Amino acid sequence: MKITKKEFIMMLGGMFLMSAAVYYEMMPNNLVLGSLSGLVLVLVKIIPLPVSTITFVLNMILLVIGYIFIGREFGVKTVLASLMLPMYLRIFEILTPHVESLSGNIVIDLVCFMIVGGAGQAVLFNMNASSGGIDIVAKLINKYLGFKIGQSITIIGVLISMAAIFVYDRETMVISLVGTLIYGQVLDRFCDGFHVRKKVSILSKEHEKIQNYIVKELRRGATIYPAYGGLDHAEHVEVVTILEKNEYGKLLSFIHETDEHAFVTVSTVNEVVGAWNTVKSR
């Protein structure tokens, strides 16, 4: 299976965000959130090994599980992404070995971690990959039990956060639990943002030109409906299509140039299931 240059760059960027959030926001505050890094923060108090080493070993075990039960594409991409996490952590350990809280406030650091880490994690999930570790378990729950990714992360995260009581104080455990619950919601919001589409309905006398532009130029499907005016009872043709945000802008510009009297309604679609995503490649 080939990984495109774009996908590889996205992996590098997503893993950099996640690794930076873990090393500079999560670790200095002992935030045991629902991730492999949270579990490592517990284990590092018991096992006398560097964080990067423990992360690598656990990742390898979970990667085998992900490859077998989730699929080859997910497994290959996750292998690459998971190798980047200990690599980035090791670089950070060498460049900045003694890191303290950047803000001095655990709540501010928690919020920063959720935003930066959630963005990086959402990039990976959007391309059918993950950072490895606990994300693989979350993906298994998502695939076989039907929970959303954020909900799956929350389920596992609660268990990991509760384990913090064995090596940290109760305050750390409570903050980690609250952070885990919020982080799951933030992650779902980020992931949903990648799948938002625009459903565009057009009533126009130039419907054939608009239909041809959608199919031939934008390479998207279009559905044609007969319509009747409620006021004048005139017959019309409605063209309906679903587009990405940048494609919607192109279509709107074309409609303005083609028929300034066209009637256009637009709605947001949060999820599309079926062959929509494969039309572009034809």
Cα distance between residue 143 and residue 226, in whole Å: 40
Rg (CA), the chain: 24
Region of poorest pLDDT, from 27-31, 246-250, 271-275: 271-275
Cα distance between residue 181 and residue 3, in whole Å: 33
Question: Which of residues 32 and 223 earns the better pLDDT score?
Answer: 223
Name 2's Cβ contacts closer than 8 Å, sequence gap at least 6: none
Contact between residue 149 and residue 138 where contact means Cβ atoms under 8 Å apart: yes
Phi-psi label, residue 95: left if phi above 0, alpha if psi -120 to 50, beta otherwise: alpha
Question: Which of residues 94 and 157 earns the better pLDDT score?
Answer: 94
Cα distance between residue 83 and residue 12, in whole Å: 11
Average pLDDT, the chain: 79
pLDDT per residue as tens digits for the range 52-91: 788 778 877 877 777 777 666 666 777 777 778 778 888 9
Cα distance between residue 139 and residue 129, in whole Å: 9
Enter the tokens of residue 139: 């993906």
pLDDT at 212: 92
pLDDT band at residue 1 under the 50/70/90 scheme: low
Q: Provide φ and ψ at 158, rounded to 5°.
A: -60, -40
Residue 86's nearest CA partner among 18, 30, 28 is 18
pLDDT band at residue 127 under the 50/70/90 scheme: confident
User: pTM (2 decimals)?
Assistant: 0.56
Beta bridge partners of 238: 203, 225
Residue 141's nearest CA partner among 128, 154, 127 is 154
Q: Indicate whether 281 pLDDT > 50.
A: no
Q: Indicate whether 240 pLDDT > 90.
A: yes
pLDDT at 128: 67
Residue 260's nearest CA partner among 180, 205, 182, 214 is 205
Q: Indicate whether 213 pLDDT > 60.
A: yes
Q: Where are the alpha helices (DSSP H) in 45-148?
A: 51-69, 72-95, 106-126, 134-145
DSSP string for residues in 29-44: TT---SSHHHHHHHHT
Mean pLDDT value of segment 10-34? 81
Going across the sheet that includes 197-203, the strands are 223-228, 235-243, 197-203, 263-269
Q: Which amino acid is at 14?
A: G
